[in-house]
Amino acid sequence: MQYYAGLDIGTTHTKLVITDALLHPVAQWKRGYRNGFGARLDANEIRAHCIDLLQEAAIALPAGASALWIGFSSAMHSLLLVDEKGEALTAVMTWADNSSLPWVEANKAAGVSLFNHTGTPFHPMSPLAKLGWLQETNQPLLQKMHRAVGVKEFIWFHLTGEWEIDHSIASATGMFAIETRTWYQPALALAGIKEDRLSMPVSVFHSRPLHTVDFPCAVRLVQGGSDGCLAQLGSNLLQPGAAALTIGTSGAIRITKPTADIDAGKRLFTYVLDEAYYVQGAPINNGGLALQWWNQEVAGGSIDPAASILAFEQDLANTAAGAEGMVCIPWFAGERAPVWDANARGSFHGISIAHTRAHFGRALLEGICFQFRLLLLLLEEQSRPIEKIFASGGFTGSKAWLQLMADILQRPIHVPVQPIDASALGAIAMAMRAAGQIDHWPAFVEVNTQAADVYHWQAQTKAVYDTQFDIFRELCRS
């Protein structure tokens, strides 16, 4: 009997989930990071976690298993430099690393023109920008570099011995032509890097045998894709009129399309899911990251994500919808969509002496939700009305936040009742497709039956949130 797994490499932890062909969970584990946070992560710690999780899987795999197919998922936009042996020369620079901002501002005219070919906004999050910045600021380090890779490529090399990058992750680098599925030479020229210093682009279904960890059966690793794109797949969101909304440290809202439509306004990304589908959407910087910052640095509480959410739930319980007229623009870590400005700053408006600390907490949460309402309208401009929104990420652990999101978006929020994370489930789907267990995505939908809790928006909050949103949108324009 064959089994399937999803290895998901995130920015706060790495997880591994094993299922059978009917998606019944067999085992799952998660390892959090201790040696890095936010903008910089420790590549060797992540590699050790991946090997540790694979060793756990070798023990937990049911007796009689004939094969295990493992699909890979990882966060987008990471970059590290490696030497000839594949050892890390730098930390993993994540999407949150804004070191390249001066280079981005100096090269904006040239960089923005790449968007129509790559689908990736010109922003410090991208590996393109990070490489361009390193070319200007650290030539000695680049002289030592053998390759510039993302974290998934780094792990893939140490498990298979090959430098390869899937089309999905490549499409988020800012250096990949999504129509031709090749490295885009004008982007490489701007970044100052040759193609032979990058990994070979391959299909999301490309697989190789595992070389590093001993298993009692044959094991093949499948390239898979980016966590955001795979969350679409894991949530069965290939149909029009539905969107995925994720909030963890950061956040994003996404739709799936059969064509590589590029947003003429350069506000939305377009990335590759597989040979037939693309994912269009908008990311934000200020999800759980803004809450953790506020709770620790301003409110004097814990930086622990669960503790932060609990504190904000108390703020919601102690205040009324609309925060007594206070509106928050939550761009405290700069912002990506729709402004794509790492220098953007957060603010509170309409403050009076009647406001309490709890009002500030509510206004911050409402501001994050207003940001998603703004992005939802942009996505609808590019496609069609979005009737259903499927939620994932750490914020789904808060019923109060989910209800707030439904009230502000004025759409039902569906939260799948499943024991498997959506990105990991999407990686499992890639593994099943590569193994021949399924030959098209409707076959995956047939086994990926998902019950969901649904949060319906409350009509009594419509007037106040419509008014607050109009203020929010006008402040974003100013």
CATH number at residue 24: 3.30.420.40
Q: Do the domain assignments include residue 70?
A: yes
Whether cis (ω within 30° of 0) applies to the bond prior to 412 is: no
pLDDT of residue 403: 98
Instruction: For residue 200, give its domain range.
Output: 2-225
Report the phi/psi class of residue 119: left, alpha or beta, with left for phi > 0 and alpha for psi in -120 to 50: left
The answer to whether 302 and 295 are in contact (CB under 8 A) is: yes
Q: Do the domain assignments include residue 8?
A: yes
- What are the tokens at 154? 């780094």
In total, how many domains does the chain have?
Answer: 1
Q: Does position 436 have pLDDT exceeding 90, yes or no?
A: yes
CA 461 → CA 131, 310, 407, 435, distances in Å?
47, 22, 7, 49
Question: Greatest CA separation found in the chain?
Answer: 69
- The residue among 49, 71, 56 whose CA lies nearest residue 26 is 56
pLDDT of residue 303: 73
Q: Do the domain assignments include residue 30?
A: yes
Round to whole Å and give the CA distance between 332 and 261.
30
The answer for residues whose C-beta is within 8 angstroms of residue 11's C-beta and 6 or more apart is: 38, 41, 75, 94, 95, 96, 248, 249
Mean pLDDT of 342-363: 96
φ/ψ (deg, to 5) at 246: -120, 135
Round to whole Å and give the CA distance between 308 and 303.
7
pLDDT of residue 383: 84
Round to whole Å and give the CA distance between 169 and 295.
33
pLDDT of residue 17: 97
pLDDT of residue 61: 96
Q: Does position 128 have pLDDT exceeding 80, yes or no?
A: yes
Question: Number of C-alpha atoms within 13 angstroms, CB side, residue 209?
Answer: 6
pLDDT in tens, 176-196: 999 999 999 999 999 999 999
pLDDT in tens, 391-435: 988 899 999 999 999 999 999 999 988 768 889 999 999 999 999
SS3 per-residue string spanning the chain: CEEEEEEEECCCEEEEEEECCCCCEEEEEEEECCCCECCEECHHHHHHHHHHHHHHHHHHCCCCCCEEEEEEEECCCCEEEECCCCCECCCEECCCCCCCHHHHHHCHHHHHCCHHHHCCCCCCCCHHHHHHHHHHHCHHHHHHCCEEECHHHHHHHHHHCCCEEEHHHHCCCCCEECCCCEECHHHHHHHCCCHHHCCEEECCCCEEECCCCCCCCEEEEEEEEEHHHHHHHHCCCCCCCEEEEEECCCEEEEEEECCCCCCCCCCCEEEECCCCCEEEEEEECCCHHHHHHHHHHHCCCCCCHHHHHHHHHHHHHCCCCCHHHCEEECCECEECCCCCECCCCCEEECCCCCCCHHHHHHHHHHHHHHHHHHHHHHHHHHCCCCCEEEEECHHHHCHHHHHHHHHHHCCCEEEECCCCCHHHHHHHHHHHHHHCCCCCHHHHHHHCCCCEEEECCCHHHHHHHHHHHHHHHHHHHC
The answer to whether 246 and 424 are in contact (CB under 8 A) is: no
pLDDT in tens, 193-229: 999 999 999 999 999 999 999 999 999 999 999 999 9
pLDDT of residue 327: 98
Mean pLDDT of 50-57: 98
Its sign, for the CA torsion 305, 231, 48, 290, is: negative
Question: Per-residue confidence at 94, pLDDT binned at 50, 70, 90?
Answer: very high
Q: Do the domain assignments include residue 365?
A: no
φ/ψ (deg, to 5) at 335: -150, 150
Tell me the Cα Rg of the chain: 22
Round to whole Å and give the CA distance between 166 and 152.
9
> What single letter denotes the amino acid at residue 314?
Q
Q: Do the domain assignments include residue 106?
A: yes
Mean pLDDT of 274-297: 94
Q: Do the domain assignments include residue 92?
A: yes
Lowest mean pLDDT among 70-79, 239-248, 407-416: 239-248
pLDDT in tens, 6-28: 999 998 899 999 999 999 999 99
Tokens 């498997």 sit at which residue?
420
Q: Does position 127 have pLDDT exceeding 80, yes or no?
A: yes
Tokens 């106040």 sit at which residue?
464
Name the average pLDDT for the chain.
95
Q: Do the domain assignments include residue 113?
A: yes
Question: Number of C-alpha atoms within 13 angstroms, CB side, residue 89?
Answer: 19
- What are the tokens at 335? 């912002």
The answer to whether 281 and 299 are in contact (CB under 8 A) is: no
The answer to whether 190 and 113 are in contact (CB under 8 A) is: no
Round to whole Å and give the CA distance between 260 and 173.
16
> What angle, 0 to 180 degrees and rounded to 10, lies between the N-to-C axes of helices 357-382 and 462-477?
80
